[in-house]
C-alpha cells in the first residue's frame, strides 16, 4: 500500500483523492492487509461481494470485542474505563437479537410513514432558508451548516422525545464523538481522556432522561428504552445509555453528511439536476445514488471467530477485519464507472452504505425518507446550484462528511413556503 487511506483521518478530509485511491486499490483486489504503527494489523475488505459475504456470517465474523478501528493506546484506555459503552453495534447474537427487537418496529416503514408530515414541514423550512438567503432569487448559503446539519438532528430529537432546547448540546457532543480527530470538531486536543469526558457527558445527559421517562413515561422512543425489558428483566443502566447514544448519534451526522453529499453532487452535475427537475419520480433513485457516494459510515470492524478464507486469502481466528463501506460502494465490479453521479443508475439502491445482514442500519428507512422529502421540496425550486468555494470535509475514519458546503444558487417557481 502506497499511502494509507484507512487509518489516517486526514485522508477523509479530501474525498476526491480518497475515492481515486480506493478505486485504484480495487484493481489490486478486494481485500488488503494493512499494517500501521500503533495499530494492530488489519484486513481491509473493499470488495462489494466480500463485504456482503462477511456480513452474512455474523457467527464467524463477530462485532465483539471492538467494532470500530482504534489504536492500541485508545483500546487500552477503553479497557481500563469503568464506563464501557455497549450499544447494538458492540453486540453479537443472542444479545443483539433481543436488544434490536426492542426498537425494531419503531423504525419499520409503516411507522416512519407516520412522520412524513413532520419531515415535509422540516423540508419546507429548509426551502424557506434558501429563499431568505436569496431575496432576489439568487443567494449563497452554507448548505451543510444551515440545512443538512439541523434537519436530521431535529428529527432525531423529536423521535427520542428530547426538547429542542437541547439541540446545540447534542450536536456538539455528537461532533466531538465522531470528530475526535478533526481539529475543528474535537474537544480540546481530542485525546483519549477528552473522548472519555465526552462519553461521560452523554451518560450524564441520558441518565437524567432515563429517570424522567421511568417516572413519567410518554409514547416517545426514550420511554420505550427507559422502561424496556430484555428477557423479562429491566435493561441494565449502561446498556440503556448505550441505546440512547447510538440512536442520538447514529441518526444525524450520517444523514446530514448524505444530504450535503447529495447537494454537492447536484452542484457539480447540473445535467443531473435538470434530469430530476424534469422527472421528479427519479428522486428516490437519486437519493440512493447520493447515499452510495456519501457512505458517511466509513467502516465497521469484525473479528474472525475461526480460521477461514475470503477471496482466496487465508484469515486466521482472531484477525481483525475492516468492512470499508465507502470503498465497497466504489467497487467497479459492481458499479459501472463508480465515481460518476448518475441519478438513473439502475443498481444505485444496491449500495452498502447502510451495511447488510443482522446489523443493517436500524434507521435506513428514516434516513431515506428524510432525503427524499428534502430533495422533493428543493429540486423543483432549485434552478441552478454551484459550489461557492470553501467546502470542507471532516477528518475522521469512522463517520465523516462535509462540515461546510457553501453553494451559490438561483431559485425559480412560486414560493410555497407560506402556503
Ligand atoms: C444516511 C444515513 C445513515 C447511514 C449511512 C447509516 C449507516 C449505518 C451502518 C453502515 C450501520 C452498520 C451496519 C452493519 O454493520 O452492517 C448502521 C447501523 C445502525 N444505524 Fe445507521 N446509518 C444512517 C442513519 C441512521 C439513522 C437515521 C438512525 C437512527 C435513527 C441510525 C441508527 C443505526 C443503529 C441503531 C445501528 C445499529 C444497528 C445494529 O447494530 O443492529 N442510522 N448504520
Q: Which protein residues are within 6 Å of ligand 1, measured from CB?
A: 55, 88-89, 100, 156, 246-247, 250-251, 254-255, 258, 291, 296-297, 300, 325, 353-357, 359-363, 366-367
Using the structure block, give the residue that is written with the C-alpha cell 412522520: 115
- Which pairing describes strands 320-324 and 42-45: parallel, antiparallel, or unpaired? parallel
Kindly report the pTM of this predicted structure.
Answer: 0.96
- Rounded to an integer, what distance in angstroms lies between the CA atom of residue 33 and that of residue 236? 38
Q: What is the DSSP string of 68-96?
A: S---HHHHHHHHH-S-----GGG--TTHH
Facing residues of 33 across strands?
43
The pLDDT of residue 415 is 56
Mean pLDDT by 10 residues, the chain (419 residues): 82 96 97 96 98 98 97 89 86 97 94 92 97 96 97 91 88 85 88 86 89 93 94 92 89 95 98 98 98 98 98 98 98 98 98 98 97 98 98 95 98 62
CB 173 within 8 A of CB 201: yes
Choosing from 252, 362, 396, 397 the residue with most ligand 1 atoms within 8 A of its CB, the one to mutate for a pocket test is 362
Amino acid at each position: 500500500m502506497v499511502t494509507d487511506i484507512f487509518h489516517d483521518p486526514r485522508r477523509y478530509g479530501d474525498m476526491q483523492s480518497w475515492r481515486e485511491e480506493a478505486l485504484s486499490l480495487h484493481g489490486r483486489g478486494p481485500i488488503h492487509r494493512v499494517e500501521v504503527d500503533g495499530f494492530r494489523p488489519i484486513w481491509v475488505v473493499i470488495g462489494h461481494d466480500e463485504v456482503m459475504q462477511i456480513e452474512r456470517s455474523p457467527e464467524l465474523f463477530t462485532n465483539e470485542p471492538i467494532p470500530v478501528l482504534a489504536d492500541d493506546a485508545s483500546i487500552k484506555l477503553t479497557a481500563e474505563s469503568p464506563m464501557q459503552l455497549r450499544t447494538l453495534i458492540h453486540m453479537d447474537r443472542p444479545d443483539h437479537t433481543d436488544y434490536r427487537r426492542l426498537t425494531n418496529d419503531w423504525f419499520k416503514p409503516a411507522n416512519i410513514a407516520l412522520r412524513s408530515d413532520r419531515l415535509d414541514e422540516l423540508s419546507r423550512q429548509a426551502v424557506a432558508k434558501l429563499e431568505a438567503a436569496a431575496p432576489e432569487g439568487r443567494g449563497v448559503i452554507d448548505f451543510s451548516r444551515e440545512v443538512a446539519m439541523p434537519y436530521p438532528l431535529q428529527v432525531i430529537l423529536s423521535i427520542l422525545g428530547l426538547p429542542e432546547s437541547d439541540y446545540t448540546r447534542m450536536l456538539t457532543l455528537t461532533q466531538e464523538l465522531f470528530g475526535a480527530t478533526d481539529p475543528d470538531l474535537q474537544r480540546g486536543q481530542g485525546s483519549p481522556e477528552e473522548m472519555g469526558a465526552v462519553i461521560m457527558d452523554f451518560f450524564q445527559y441520558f441518565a437524567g432522561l432515563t429517570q424522567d421517562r421511568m417516572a413519567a413515561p410518554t409514547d416517545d422512543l426514550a420511554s420505550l428504552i427507559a422502561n424496556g425489558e430484555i428477557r423479562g428483566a429491566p435493561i441494565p443502566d449502561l446498556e440503556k445509555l448505550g441505546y440512547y447514544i447510538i440512536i442520538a448519534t447514529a441518526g444525524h451526522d450520517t444523514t446530514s453528511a448524505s444530504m450535503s453529499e447529495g447537494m454537492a453532487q447536484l452542484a457539480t452535475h447540473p445535467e443531473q439536476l435538470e434530469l430530476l427537475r424534469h422527472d421528479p419520480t427519479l428522486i428516490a433513485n437519486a437519493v440512493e445514488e447520493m447515499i452510495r457516494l456519501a457512505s458517511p459510515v466509513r467502516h465497521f470492524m469484525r473479528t474472525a471467530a475461526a480460521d477461514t478464507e475470503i477471496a482466496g486469502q487465508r484469515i486466521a481466528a482472531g484477525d481483525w477485519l475492516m468492512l470499508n463501506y465507502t470503498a465497497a460502494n466504489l467497487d467497479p465490479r459492481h458499479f459501472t464507472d463508480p465515481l460518476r453521479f448518475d441519478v438513473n443508475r439502475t443498481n444505485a439502491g444496491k449500495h452498502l452504505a447502510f451495511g447488510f445482514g443482522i446489523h443493517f442500519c436500524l434507521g435506513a428507512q428514516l434516513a431515506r425518507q428524510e432525503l427524499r422529502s428534502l430533495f422533493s421540496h428543493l429540486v423543483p425550486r432549485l434552478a441552478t446550484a454551484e459550489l461557492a468555494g470553501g467546502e470542507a470535509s471532516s477528518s475522521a475514519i469512522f463517520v465523516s462528511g462535509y462540515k461546510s458546503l457553501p453553494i451559490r444558487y438561483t431559485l425559480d417557481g412560486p414560493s410555497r413556503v407560506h402556503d
